Structure 1
Amino acid sequence: MKFTPRSPSSFSGFNSSLKHPIYFVLSSNIFPSFMATLSTQTDSHEDPDDRLCAATSGCSSLQQNCSSSSSSAALPMSSESPSPSSSLGSPARCLNGEWRIDRAWTHWKKLGQPKLMVAPMVDNSELPFRMLCRKYGAGAAYTPMLHSRIFSENEKYRTQEFTTCKEDRPLFVQFCANDPDILLEAARMVEPHCDYVDINLGCPQRIARRGNYGAFLMDNLPLIKSLVQKLADNLHVPVSCKIRIFSNLQDTITYARMLEDAGCSLLAVHGRTRDEKDGKKFRADWNAIKAVKGAVKIPVLANGNIRHMDDVHRCLEETGADGVLSAESLLENPALFAGFRTAEWVEADEESNIDGKLDQADLLVEYLKLCESYPVPWRIIRSHVHKMLGDWFRIHPQVREDLNAQSRLTFEFLYDMVNRLRELGTRIPLYVKGSHAGGPTENGVDTRN
């Protein structure tokens, strides 16, 4: 079914123009910020940072979106209705391993085999940030991690925490879960609007331990297998998984093969163990990722140690992976995939690094303008401001203090803050090698088959 755009007045909630993203009613409560979102349903004293930064034209329920019109982008959420976003056709419940692998590669190739990807980040890989990273070279992106149970239950969270638009593709929608039936219910809500439904098997935080999801499911491999099988047998879009490694390499390989056999069509491997939470303290093990790539037949993505494009090239070469994910480095520098790097990663004796005529304040302004088109809670914007301007605030801490003192943010205040930093003479450039500044491509990474 082809999606025919309508005006906001004629079809509230769905519009494929850049200024009107598709708003879905989906849900989660896995980190403290999500608690605030949920509490506003019964507490009239809403935290100002949980307000959306601009008005939306969202509708009251996902089911409305699914049944409003034949021109809608969504289809009824049943296992009998194919997704327009999928190249896989009917669910794979009767397919053997070789057929599933062929289908996995057919789908991946149809998406263009993107090499550079925005990793899933709670409260940080939301729509406007994804769109900014896509402008600067990201070929695909993950949503923030969404909690499958609350996703299927809580309308307010769904409205705020999952938004997308026509240009936001390829897109992975990531869930954490420990119940196959609940996971399937949530996944069916989004399958018409994404290219993969991803299962988070890598979150190492204490909240994941308490909730029994993420990397803590590594202690219950039969449950993990049932989660993957449930989606693979019933969805029309493929299932992907994002994992961490075991300390024992053979255990990691056995784990990866189990996921492939269960129906996983793409595997993202974070090259750190569950206990190695500090990315600055523990280097990701690219050799383990290479071993996984050699052990399975489905596409494999590498995660860890990606700070600039030299790391991208080295990782792809050393691991043989089909693409890379970056998280923390993108938060500081969303133009990383276009070849820009922060001063921290400019070698002192490397004369070829020059001012790229772009800085983090420029990127922040671009991000804020995207937020005006794609509204998100102010807490998310506040977080990105601190991540992008952290070095600037260290030079002028009074500006950071003024930001922190604002209980209610506005775009006017934030634009004025950027102007104030510039008037103070602050500019910390992003650098590029020679005159080869990147653009909205995959920046020299070979994307040929």
Structure 2
Amino acid sequence: MKLPFDVKSPYFLAPMAGYTDKPFRKLCREFGCGLTFSELISVNALYYDNKKTFKLIERDVSDVPYCIQLFGSEPELFVSTAKKLEGLCDCIDINAGCPAPKVLKIKAGSYLLKEPDRLFEIVKVLKKQIKKPVSVKMRMGFDKPNDLSLYLRLQDLGVDFITIHARLKTQFFKGEPDYEHIAMVRDALEIPVVANGGIDSFLKLEKVKRLTGCEFFMVGQAAIGKPYIFEDFLNMQDSKRSLEDIKKIMKRHLIYMEEFWKEKAVVKFRKFFHAYLKGYPNVKKFNNMINHAESLNEAFDIIDMIQ
């Protein structure tokens, strides 16, 4: 099964609000990520030309191929927004998986699984009015597993590939994913199915490959603080990076953040800093320091102090 574009590796970075900005996508690409997605973007915000939202979808030269993920509930807004974005990406991805209350409130994200006809209509109008591929990233269900007919209908409507996070909306990010559900869908469809959910090591990747039979895999939270997970997958191992290696990665990431976010870089880097140092001794001390740092030089000095 082939994707609608070429990828250099079968390991993809999931769209994550507040994390998958241009600097982080660039860093993950350097470690071998094959496909990147913007963070989930509101069709309403783009429809009304919100400048801050347009910055979130800015593309790096390494972002090839690159998908922009949209969330919303109104088919007309999806089409209007997608037309604005066609020249900025290689694919439009529909979010039918986000479990966040503020997204569900507007009947978007995983709420679309409760009203699949609305999801079908969004796909139908996008496939009719835009030329770029259309994909769907979804949960395996809202409060119970999706029926196979839902996936078959999406395929019939022309969806180019589907990504399944193998948890219910009601599970959020807890509990063991149901990889057998993905396997069932993968066996039934003729379009690519991307496995997602709980893939946090090469050992886990091997298990998911075996259970799902999928060719493509998406990593989300596990890449935060460990962007080299993609390199581990390509090298077929779970590496143990030295603290000095981690510090070099942190500095490179921070430089990319400064190039993109300018004076906001250090503040936006804080959550990544915390993730990079998770599990290290004296972490509270350094987290507290970075939380009060404002300049690039301050942040570099703090990184240099870590030992």
Give the letter for the 1:330 counterpart: A
1:355 is displaced (CA, Å) by 5.3
Match among 279, 283, 288 for residue 181 of structure 2: 288
2:270 maps to 382
Structure 2 partner of 1:324: 217
1:197 aligns with 2:92: yes
Q: 1:355 to 1:419 in 2, by over 3 A?
A: closer
Deviation at 1:123, TM superposition (A): 0.9
Aligned match of 1:398: 285
SS at match of 1:339: helix
1:164 equivalent in structure 2 = 59
Q: TM-score, normalised by structure 1?
A: 0.63
Flag the 1:354–1:185 CA change in 2: closer, same or farther, 3 A. closer
Q: Cα RMSD over matched residues?
A: 2.2
The structural deviation recorded for 1:396 is: 4.0
Q: 1:255 to 1:400 in 2, by over 3 A?
A: same
Distance 1:354 1:231 in 2: 44
Q: Give TM-score scaled by structure 2 length.
A: 0.90
Gaps of at least 5 residues in structure 1 are 1-103, 347-352, 427-449
Encode CA deviations 1:250-272: one digit per residue, 9 max, x unaligned.
Answer: x3312211211222111000000
What CA distance in whole angstroms lies between the structure 2 residues aligned with 1:368 and 1:329?
19
Question: Where does structure 1 differ by over 6 angstroms across 4 or more consecutive aligned residues?
Answer: none
The farther-off stretch of 296-305 and 204-213 is: 204-213
More helix per residue: 2
For 1:175, the aligned partner's letter is L
**Identical pairs, percent:** 21
CA contact (8 A) 2:46 2:54 kept: no
Q: Aligned pair count?
A: 301
Letter in 2 for 1:405: H
Q: Deviations over 1:298-356 (max 9, x none)?
A: 1110001211122223322321112111111100201011118xxxx97xxxxxx6656
Q: Which structure has the bigger radius of gyration? A: 1
Deviation of 1:150 after TM superposition, in Å, equals 0.9
Cα distance between partner residues in 2 of 1:328 and 1:334: 10
Q: Deviations over 1:214-259 (max 9, x none)?
A: 001211111110011111111110100001113655x331221121
Residue 241 to residue 410, structure 1, CA distance change in 2 (3 Å): same
Unaligned 5+ segments in structure 2 are none
User: Per the alignment, do residues 308 and 180 of structure 1 end up closer, same or farther by CA in structure 2, a change over 3 Å counting?
Assistant: same
How far apart are the structure 2 equivalents of 1:400 and 1:234? 48
Q: Aligned equivalents of 1:285 and 1:156: distance in 2?
A: 39
Give the whole-Å Cα distance in 1 for the aligned partners of 2:80 and 2:250: 36
Distance 1:357 1:386, change over 3 A: closer
Which of 102, 108, 124 in structure 2 is aligned with 1:213?
108
Residue 302 of structure 1 aligns to a residue whose secondary structure is strand
Residue 230 of structure 2 is matched in structure 1 by 337
